Amino acid sequence: MTSEPRPGPPPPPPQASQFDFWLGEWDTRWGDGLAATNRVTKILGDRVILEEFDGTRDAQLRGMSVSVYEPRDGRWRQTWVDDNGSYYDFVGGWEDGPDGNVEGGRMVLVHSREVEGRTVLLRLVWSEIEQDSMTWEWQRSDDAGETWRTLWQLDYTRRA
């Protein structure tokens, strides 16, 4: 009795590379010179993005996220957890820049939760994306996304 080899999973769709700009080792800075490091890699057959954030020196925060492109609904999903016991689940995707160009585009993921009986939207925005730098913002909306205020902005620089 011979067993036939099991076929491997199909290749990831092209959209699964939309987060590749984030891969690598990063220094992040915010506020008055506060800093952290962020290591972002692909795991599980290059289908999952793993983020390992270490801000223990200045932010007293360590956390990690896993992100995956879900072909069934054409969106990215990210789960964030940290050493404060926080848990967030975000969903969203790539938004093209002006005139539908990839250049000038941004990645936007949104989370919805109830706070004191009201729906609050939280979002992550990666923008100004270059080979060795980008901006990441943690934003909040209390009016169903009509307006957003930035709660935390990190400036990323690729580590040498």
User: What's the one-letter identity of residue 18?
Assistant: Q
CATH number at residue 73: 2.40.128.20
Quick check: is 10 in a domain? no
Q: Are 123 and 132 in contact (CB under 8 A)?
A: no
Quick check: is 8 in a domain? no
Quick check: is 6 in a domain? no
**pLDDT tens per residue across span 17-28:** 999 999 999 999
Torsion 113-140-18-132 (CA) sign: negative
Quick check: is 154 in a domain? yes
Q: Are 65 and 80 in contact (CB under 8 A)?
A: yes
Give this prediction's pTM. Answer: 0.90
Query: For residue 125, what are the contacts with CB-CB under 8 A and spacing of at least 6?
Result: 106, 107, 108, 135, 136, 137, 139
Quick check: is 92 in a domain? yes
Q: Tell me the C-alpha distance between 62 and 36, whole Å.
A: 9
- When divided into structural domains, the chain yields a total of 1
Q: Which two tokens stand for residue 123?
A: 């979002």
Give me the tens of pLDDT residue by residue for the chain, a chain 160 residues long. Answer: 667 778 878 888 899 999 999 999 999 999 988 999 999 999 998 999 999 999 998 889 999 999 999 999 999 999 999 999 999 999 999 998 776 666 789 999 999 999 899 999 999 999 999 999 999 999 999 999 999 999 999 999 999 8
Q: Tell me the C-alpha distance between 15 and 19, whole Å.
A: 9
Q: Which two tokens stand for residue 104?
A: 């000038």
- Domain holding 119, by residue range, is 17-158
Quick check: is 12 in a domain? no
First to last CA, the chain: 54
CA dihedral 63, 150, 127, 93 (to 10 degrees): 70
Quick check: is 134 in a domain? yes
Quick check: is 133 in a domain? yes
* Structure-token match 């969203």, residue found: 92
